Structure 1
Amino acid sequence: MKKRITIIGINYFPEDTAIGLYTTQFAEYLNDNDFEVTVVTGFPYYPAWKINEKYKFRKFFLNENINGVNIFRYKQYVPKNPILTKRILHLIDFSFGTLINCFKIKKADVVLCIVPFIGTVLIGKMLSKVKGAKLWVHIQDFEFDAVSDSNLIKNKVNVGILFKTLFWIEKRLLKSADFLSTISNSMTFKLSQKVGNNKNQKLLPNWVDPNFIKPNNFKRHKFLSSLKFKILYSGNIGEKQDWEFFIDFVKYLEPLKDIEVIVVGNGSKRVWLEEKLLDLNNIYFYSPVKYSELSDLLCSADLHVLFQKNDVIDTVMPSKILAMMSSKRPSIITGNLKSEVATIINSSNAGKYFHEKDINQVVDFVKKIKEDYELKEIYGKSAREFVIKNFSKDMILNEFKNTLNLIVK
């Protein structure tokens, strides 16, 4: 008899980036490996923060089957301007629809909740109790930590009690799970700080498909078709990145006429960023590409960049970095030296990690990579070899499957 797993998470196909992409690939992998998979999710909206056009006029509750996976959706409220209060309403509404959809689940051996957001754990706990199932919580990010570290809260006076309450709720919900997993070593450590050491905790990182991103067999993407040295940022244009430093970076590069900067993505800061760089001729903005174009996009770049804020110790390994490294191109990344990303970049020799925001050092490294083709190749080769060895899709998903079999043995 097939083992039955119900996955609860707000992001799923056709979202083809970040958590939505990973949850979809995981669910379909399990379906292909003799599991009966049901997904309870929302309507696709990320990263544009608007309901996908193909789903825009569908009913509020939708049941569909995609690639063998049974999917229950609820059309949640999606704010155009996702400030904190509107995000909270967005999640509350999703919880309401998810609770109703969970009544449609007939049987389950395991209920897997994808965090963010933590509210799904409460619903998952209720469902697992009713169905006699095990509860597994897989943490992609600690959302309360992310909010407290970001600029989403403009007035941080008198919010200490609020966050103490939220962290207490988070701890109770996480401790109610039968099994916990996270995606990075730093997050594993943070999880232990939150709930204590537990044998039922495991590191299960995100992955990259080396057979999908093909640096030795790609077609030059139309966004990066010039003969200039091309620097690419591809991903969410949001609060976590240091866009002030990015603006300085682009301005410093403008006199170098054989270098151009390309930004591919959407997010809450995109309009603001475009306005700040409106007068410069060395930068180009494009909307996100289809997942099928991602390999060509990444491999068409000469150099990848990601500028993170120094005051945020990011315990997450952003999925975009694995894809960047898999493209066999070097990367320049800035941020806190204690972050998970710093550890990965420095140990892999995949490029350069700067924890001090010295614009001259960063620009000098760009020039060095541009002028030294052999050095560029060394960094790129090291990057790809590292992700294949440590984050290969088949290896990680097989570990997920083995973990699931242990939970319900």
Structure 2
Amino acid sequence: MLVSTNYAPEHAGIGPYATQIAEHWARAGHETHVLTGMPHYPSWSTDPAYAGVWRRSEEREGVRVHRRRHTVPPRQTAVRRALFEGSILLHALAAPPRTGRPDAVLAQMPSLAGGVVGARLAARWRAPFVPVVQDLMGAAAAQSGIRGGDRAAALAERAESYALRRAALVGVIHETFVEKVRAMGVDPGRIRIVPNWNHIPGPSRPRAESRARLGWRASDTVVLHSGNMGLKQGLEVLVEAARRDPALRVVLMGEGNQRGTLAALASGVPNLEFLPPADDGEFPDILAAADVLAVTQRATVLDMSVPSKLTSYFASGRPVVASVADGGGTAREVLRSGAGVLVPPENPDALVSAVRRIAADPVSADALGAEGPRHVASHLSRDAGLARIDALIEEALGGPHT
């Protein structure tokens, strides 16, 4: 049993990881069930195909998917996020899927509610519970700037601690999460590092062809950010970078609850454009068409999140500029890859300077970007990532730990 609020057809964030885990298990011949919500991410609006649906069970690629309705807040505040989490928790516990006793329950966190649901159902079924921490939501509430964040952080950390202390093993996607998880009362001997993997193919079209289709001239210096437009991303720095250097073409591709705010901020900035999320087939080529891929975070974001977009960025073969806090998990991953450079967060002048330096030397830019696919092949392949998840479950069931 896999518990994950996010699942296919969502194609951004942690949904693809949940989907690939479950389909991997199904292909291996395991009876696989997923307890999930209604598709809503990254737009934070319910997929029209599921409008009005209260509960649904469906078959996807050999996986039995059980969906439960929940609230979807178009804008994030602590209260709205609490209602979102509460609706997931109450509906899932009130109407759990009717399955036999699973051998194990794996939960992706966030959502917080998904972790608590996984822990409660595993206890009910007397099955090992194994959460995989993708984001630390208590730290996220404190560091992301959400309204009411201090109180939300305390409540979120209590919920995280409740779920994690009941786990047979705890997976974390990055080593920077280990100390936070240990501080919640989890024995360090039960924590395993299970990094995310690249879940998209490499680009398939020539860059010039993709740029022409997107309307990007060969002379344009294109800075692309792809993914969720939320509070913790601090995307205002890219708006200001575009404002300060009209020679840049800054592209924000995706959805999120801050998109409207960013669009208003970008009024009168003609060299900044918004694109909707790309289809899976186009996504790798759009990333590869850019000159620079940007990852941004608020200066307060340190040890609560490592953006899932990084694996896709690395696979594209383009250089990354990371406007993030030095020493945090995101900064470490960019440096580890060898495919990007760091600049101070929330500093548009530093970001512009880094982009200009990269654009001024195309040969060096290509060499920098080429480190990304090499890093993916060596450390972030799908097979390796899924094997780590399999090993986590095997150990929770009493198998070997190496």
Same fold (TM over 0.5): yes
TM-score (ref. length: structure 1): 0.90
Equivalent residue in structure 2 for 1:34, among 14, 17, 29 = 29
| CA apart distance, 1:196 | 4.2
| CA apart distance, 1:40 | 0.6
Corresponding position of 1:220? 210
Q: Confirm or deny: 8 A CA contact 1:213 1:295 kept in the other structure.
A: yes
Partner SS, residue 293 of structure 2: strand
User: Does 2:45 match 1:13?
Assistant: no
Counterpart AA for 1:263: L
Equivalent residue in structure 1 for 2:40, among 33, 45, 53 = 45
Corresponding position of 2:76? 82
Corresponding position of 1:194? 184
Partner SS, residue 35 of structure 1: coil
Q: Could you say if the C-alpha distance between residues 357 and 118 of structure 1 is closer, same or farther in structure 2, counting changes exceeding 3 Å? A: closer
Corresponding position of 2:51? 56
Q: Could you say if the C-alpha distance between residues 53 and 186 of structure 1 is closer, same or farther in structure 2, counting changes exceeding 3 Å? A: same
For 1:112 and 1:355, locate their aligned partners in 2 and report how far apart those are by CA, in whole Å.
37
User: Does 2:124 match 1:130?
Assistant: yes
Q: Could you say if the C-alpha distance between residues 277 and 172 of structure 1 is closer, same or farther in structure 2, counting changes exceeding 3 Å? A: closer
For 1:155 and 1:140, locate their aligned partners in 2 and report how far apart those are by CA, in whole Å.
19
Corresponding position of 1:374? 363
Q: Larger deviation: 325-334 or 286-295?
A: 286-295
Provide the aligned length of Structure 1 versus Structure 2: 395
Q: Confirm or deny: 8 A CA contact 2:195 2:385 kept in the other structure.
A: yes
Corresponding position of 1:346? 335
| CA apart distance, 1:25 | 1.0
Counterpart AA for 1:233: H
Q: Larger deviation: 319-328 or 366-375?
A: 366-375
| CA apart distance, 1:192 | 2.0
For 2:83 and 2:181, locate their aligned partners in 1 and report how far apart those are by CA, in whole Å.
27
User: Does 2:218 match 1:229?
Assistant: no
Q: Confirm or deny: 8 A CA contact 1:207 1:396 kept in the other structure.
A: yes
| CA apart distance, 1:165 | 5.5
| CA apart distance, 1:139 | 0.9
For 1:67 and 1:44, locate their aligned partners in 2 and report how far apart those are by CA, in whole Å.
17
For 1:330 and 1:146, locate their aligned partners in 2 and report how far apart those are by CA, in whole Å.
27
| CA apart distance, 1:383 | 2.1
Corresponding position of 1:388? 377
Corresponding position of 1:298? 287
- Which string of whole-angstrom CA distances, capped at 9 and with x for unpartnered residues, describes residues 107-142 of structure 1? 211011211122333332332233231111111111
- Which string of whole-angstrom CA distances, capped at 9 and with x for unpartnered residues, describes residues 36-63 of structure 1? 1100111101111111111114x31101
- Which string of whole-angstrom CA distances, capped at 9 and with x for unpartnered residues, describes residues 197-219 of structure 1? 33222111111046x12367665
For 1:55 and 1:27, locate their aligned partners in 2 and report how far apart those are by CA, in whole Å.
21
Q: Confirm or deny: 8 A CA contact 1:40 1:101 kept in the other structure.
A: no
- Which string of whole-angstrom CA distances, capped at 9 and with x for unpartnered residues, describes residues 71-121 of structure 1? 111121222333221221122111122113425122211011211122333
User: Does 2:139 match 1:145?
Assistant: yes
Partner SS, residue 177 of structure 1: coil
Corresponding position of 2:390? 401
Q: Could you say if the C-alpha distance between residues 331 and 94 of structure 1 is closer, same or farther in structure 2, counting changes exceeding 3 Å? A: same
- Which string of whole-angstrom CA distances, capped at 9 and with x for unpartnered residues, describes residues 285-306 of structure 1? 1111122221111111111112
- Which string of whole-angstrom CA distances, capped at 9 and with x for unpartnered residues, describes residues 212-235 of structure 1? 123676651633543222211111
* Matched ranges for 1:236-247 at <5 A: 236-247=228-239
Counterpart AA for 1:115: M
Gaps of 5+ in 1: 1-5
| CA apart distance, 1:389 | 1.2
Q: Larger deviation: 147-156 or 276-285?
A: 147-156
Equivalent residue in structure 2 for 1:22, among 17, 24, 46 = 17
TM-score (ref. length: structure 2): 0.92
Corresponding position of 2:241? 249
Corresponding position of 1:3? none
Counterpart AA for 1:202: R
Counterpart AA for 2:257: S
Q: Could you say if the C-alpha distance between residues 18 and 405 of structure 1 is closer, same or farther in structure 2, counting changes exceeding 3 Å? A: same
Corresponding position of 1:109? 103
Q: Could you say if the C-alpha distance between residues 242 and 131 of structure 1 is closer, same or farther in structure 2, counting changes exceeding 3 Å? A: closer
For 1:326 and 1:97, locate their aligned partners in 2 and report how far apart those are by CA, in whole Å.
38
Q: Confirm or deny: 8 A CA contact 2:119 2:129 kept in the other structure.
A: yes
Partner SS, residue 353 of structure 1: strand
Partner SS, residue 138 of structure 2: helix
Corresponding position of 1:172? 162
For 2:316 and 2:70, locate their aligned partners in 1 and report how far apart those are by CA, in whole Å.
35
Q: Confirm or deny: 8 A CA contact 2:35 2:97 kept in the other structure.
A: no
Q: Could you say if the C-alpha distance between residues 155 and 181 of structure 1 is closer, same or farther in structure 2, counting changes exceeding 3 Å? A: closer
Gaps of 5+ in 2: none
Q: Larger deviation: 30-39 or 244-253?
A: 244-253
